[in-house]
C-alpha cells in the first residue's frame, strides 16, 4: 500500500511499491516511463477498510510486468492503493484477513473458483480474503487479466490480490493452498510419465509451503494424479502436519450422489454419507453400502444389486469422460464447485451422523488400509479446518475387494515416485492404465 507524491519531470523513473500483508512486507522495483517523476511512500495498512476505485491512469497505474518475471508477487491495481484507515467501523464485524494461495490460477477451474472465494461463498460473508495467484511465465498476462476481472467485480471482502510465478513468494503466509495447476496428460504419455512430470511440480510446491506458508496451512491438491501428488507434496513439507494435506475426491462424491438420486427418484439433498474410497482414478470405490437415501440404507431403497455394483460404479468412474464427449471440454465448473464443497466441509461443523469424502494421509486409519499413502476415506469435521475419520462404517466382501484394488494401485504409484518422496530409487510397476479422461 502506498501514497504517491508527484514532482514535475519528463524522464523515465523507477517506481517503488511496498505491499504490506498481514505479516510481511514486499518491495519490488520496475522501470516505468511516465510524464512525471513520483516516489511512493509506504503507509501502514489495515485489514478492514473500504475498497476504492482505481485512480486515473495519469496518476498511478497498475504494475507493469517486465521481463524479470522472478520478482516478488505484485499487488494489482486497486489492491495497491491505500485504503481509508478510518473506515473500520463499517467492517468491524469482519474477521481477520485470511490468505489463500491458488496455483494454476489462470486456468478454467480457477476461473470459476476465484470469484466464489472473493464473493464470500466459501469462507463466509464476513471473512475478508487475500488471493495470491500462482502461474507460469506463459500465463503471467492471463493472471493480470484474472486480477483485472476480480478488480472490476468490486467484491468488498476481497482486500488483496497478488500474482507471481515463484511459489516461494506466492505461498508466503498462506493459510489455505489450493493446488490446481498441473500438466495434462498428452497423447502417448504413460501414467508413469505423468506421475513423474507432475510429481516434480508438487515436490517443489511442497518445499515452498514448508519454507514460507503458515505452519497450519491446509492444502487441497486438485492437479492429477491428485492422491499421489498430495503424497509427494506432504513428503516435501515435513514441518507441516501430514494431516493437513487433502486430495480432491469431492467431485466423485457429488457425482455418486447424483446417480443415486436419479435411480431412487429423489432430489439429491436426500442422499447422504456417500463415501469415495481410494484413488481418484477408475479404481475409485463409490460406497453404496454405507450411503443413505432419506435416512435409510441405499440397499433398502434401491434393491437392484446388479445396478449398484456395476452400472452405478462405472457411471461414477467414467462421468468425466461422458461429459467431455458431450461438451468437448473437461468439468471445470463442477470441479470448482467441489473444491468449494470440500473447503466448506472443513470449516463448517459436520451434522451429527453425517460425513464427507476427502483424500487424506492413511497413517493411523481404523480400516486396515495400508499406511503412508493418500487415500479417500469418510471424514467429519468440527468446523475448525481439521477432521477425524469416521469409525462407524461397515464393510462387506465386495467393498473390501474393491478397496484393495485401489490400495494396490496407490502403493504402486508410491513406488513410482520414490525419487520424489525421499524414499530411494523409483520402480514403476503400475498394475494397469487407470487414467481418468481429465488427465488427457
Q: CA 359 to CA 128: how far, in whole Å? A: 28
The SS3 call for residue 13 is strand
User: Is the torsion defined by CA of 40, 41, 47, 49 positive or negative?
Assistant: negative
Q: Tell me, what's the pLDDT at 137?
A: 92
Ordered by where they begin, the domains of the chain are 96-247 (3.40.50.720), 249-420 (3.90.110.10)
Q: Tell me, what's the pLDDT at 84?
A: 56
List, by residue number, the catalytic residues: 280
Q: Tell me, what's the pLDDT at 433?
A: 62
Q: CA 115 to CA 339: how far, in whole Å? A: 13
Q: Tell me, what's the pLDDT at 65?
A: 38
Q: CA 184 to CA 223: how far, in whole Å? A: 9
Segments in the chain below pLDDT 70: 1-74, 82-93, 186-189, 432-440
Is-cis flag, bond preceding 106, omega within 30?
no
Give the closest residue to 357 by CA, choosing from 320, 321, 314, 387.
387
Give the closest residue to 112 by CA, choosing from 149, 163, 139, 167.
149
Q: Name the phi and psi angles at 208, rounded to 5.
A: -65, -45
pTM: 0.81
Q: Tell me, what's the pLDDT at 152?
A: 96
Q: CA 78 to CA 174: how far, in whole Å? A: 21
Amino acid at each position: 500500500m502506498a501514497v504517491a507524491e508527484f514532482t514535475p519531470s519528463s524522464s523515465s523513473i523507477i517506481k517503488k511499491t511496498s505491499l504490506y500483508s498481514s505479516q510481511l512486507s514486499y518491495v519490488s522495483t520496475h522501470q516505468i516511463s511516465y510524464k512525471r517523476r513520483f516516489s511512493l511512500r509506504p503507509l501502514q495498512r489495515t485489514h478492514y477498510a473500504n475498497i476504492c476505485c482505481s485512480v486515473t491512469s495519469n496518476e498511478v497505474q497498475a504494475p507493469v510486468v517486465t521481463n524479470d518475471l522472478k520478482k516478488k508477487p505484485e499487488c494489482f491495481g486497486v489492491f495497491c492503493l491505500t485504503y481509508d484507515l478510518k473506515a473500520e467501523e463499517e467492517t468491524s464485524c469482519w474477521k481477520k484477513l485470511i490468505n489463500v494461495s491458488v496455483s494454476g490460477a489462470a486456468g478454467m477451474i480457477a476461473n470459476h473458483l476465484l470469484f466464489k472465494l472473493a464473493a464470500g461463498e466459501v469462507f463466509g460473508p464476513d471473512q475478508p480474503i487475500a488471493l495470491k495467484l500462482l502461474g507460469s511465465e506463459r500465463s503471467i498476462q492471463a493472471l493480470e487479466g484474472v486480477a483485472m476481472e476480480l478488480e472490476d467485480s468490486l467484491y468488498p471482502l476481497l482486500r488483496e490480490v497478488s500474482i507471481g510465478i515463484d511459489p516461494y513468494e506466492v505461498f508466503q503466509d498462506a493459510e489455505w493452498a489450493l493446488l490446481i495447476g498441473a500438466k495434462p496428460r498428452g497423447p502417448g504419455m504413460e501414467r508413469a510419465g505423468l506421475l513423474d512430470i507432475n510429481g516434480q511440480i508438487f515436490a517443489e510446491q511442497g518445499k515452498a509451503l514448508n519454507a514460507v506458508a503458515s505452519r497450519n496451512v491446509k492444502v487441497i491438491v486438485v492437479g492429477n494424479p491428485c492422491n499421489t501428488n498430495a503424497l509427494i507434496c506432504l513428503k516435501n513439507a515435513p514441518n507441516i502436519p501430514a494431516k493437513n494435506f487433502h486430495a480432491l475426491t469431492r467431485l466423485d462424491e457429488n457425482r455418486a450422489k447424483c446417480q443415486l438420486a436419479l435411480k431412487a427418484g429423489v432430489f439429491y439433498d436426500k442422499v447422504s454419507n456417500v463415501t469415495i474410497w481410494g484413488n481418484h482414478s477408475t479404481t475409485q470405490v463409490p460406497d453404496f453400502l454405507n450411503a443413505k437415501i432419506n435416512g435409510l440404507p441405499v440397499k433398502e431403497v434401491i434393491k437392484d444389486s446388479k445396478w449398484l455394483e456395476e452400472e452405478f460404479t462405472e457411471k461414477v468412474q467414467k462421468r468425466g469422460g461422458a461429459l467431455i464427449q458431450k461438451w468437448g471440454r473437461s468439468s471445470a465448473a463442477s470441479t470448482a464447485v467441489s473444491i468449494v464443497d470440500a473447503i466448506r466441509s472443513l470449516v463448517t461443523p459436520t451434522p451429527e451422523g453425517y460425513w464427507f469424502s476427502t483424500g487424506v494421509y492413511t497413517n493411523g486409519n481404523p480400516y486396515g488400509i495400508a499406511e503412508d499413502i493418500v487415500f479417500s476415506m469418510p471424514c467429519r469435521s468440527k468446523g475448525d479446518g481439521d477432521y477425524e475419520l469416521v469409525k462407524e462404517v461397515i464393510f462387506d466382501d465386495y467393498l473390501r475387494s474393491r478397496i484393495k484394488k485401489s490400495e494396490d494401485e496407490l502403493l504402486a504409484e508410491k513406488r513410482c515416485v520414490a525419487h520424489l518422496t525421499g524414499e530411494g530409487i523409483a520402480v514403476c510397476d503400475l498394475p494397469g492404465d487407470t487414467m481418468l479422461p481429465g488427465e488427457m
